[in-house]
A and B are shown apart, each in its own frame.
With several copies, the nearest count.
Chain A
Amino acid sequence: MDRTPDGHVISLDIPSSMQLVYVLDSVISQILKEMGFDDESREQVNLAVIEAGTNAIKHGNKEDVNKRARFEFILNQDKLTVVVQDGGAGFDRNSVENPLNPENLLKSSGRGIFLMETCMDAVTYEAPGTTVRMVKYKKSPSNKQK
């Protein structure tokens, strides 16, 4: 969609309160709509961004409203990159349990990172785990990444 300028960065910065996640929701929804992602991709990216934002606010900043959760949306013709950063202690992705293991199936939590990784095309964690970078490609005839 040629209304998407290439490489533009939109930044959003909120205090770490779950009450403010609606702002994140409205920004990502609107960006996905304007970039012309299909419905399924929009649901997926929306979910992944909310999961990452929730982790930054809850696990990273422990809902301390004096700490900020920072979001960068990098808009390209063929993809959207979302970078989520918190002011917490970080964590090690590899020590997170796999929610698909039979012994974890009945747990009531632990599926956020799994959903992020399932819904996005690429998810990387920057040491020490306070920053997560997620990429979603647009599906189009000229773009077979996914």
Chain B
Amino acid sequence: MEIVVRRRDDVTILDVAGRIAGSDSLDLKRAIDAQIEIAAGNIAKIVLNLERVRIVDSFGLGVIVAAYTSIQRNGGRIALLNVGGNIKNLIVMAKLMTIFDRYDNEDEAVASFQ
């Protein structure tokens, strides 16, 4: 898994590429934990760009859900960007549509935090 961390205004965008599956998923967990740490009490504003993610398994899905709950607990918010194909199917099947805000356009995702 490759994760590129970018900033736009006070929003952090994580561009993820590869697989969010098995133990690889822990890289994503660590990256998100780091962002919560950096926010240090301030509101963490995170966009998870899944455009280049090909595979997610139940473990990876769990990591994404865990990211949601821990950001939520810290008063922040996470939005998903470019959720397509197989991953969209998984999120629909697992009934996670309701908990995540999803966008297909980066500007809209960033603007949603303002």
Contact = CB atoms under 8 A, between A and B. Distances in A.
A43 B86 contact: yes
Interface stretch (B9-17, B39-47, B64-72, B103-111): B64-72
A54 B22 contact: yes
Interface string B85-106: 0100010011110110000000
B79 to A, nearest CB: 17
B68 A109 contact: no
A132 interface: no
Contacts, number: 51
A116 B87 CA distance: 15
Question: What is the interface of chain B mostly: helix, strand, loop, or mixed?
Answer: helix
A65 interface: no
Contacts of B57: 47, 50-51, 54, 115
Nearest to A114: B94
B66 A108 contact: yes
Nearest to A58: B59
Interface of A: 18, 21, 43, 47, 50-51, 54, 99-100, 105-109, 111-112, 114-115, 118
Interface of B: 21-23, 55, 57-59, 61-63, 65-66, 68-69, 86, 90, 93-96, 98-99
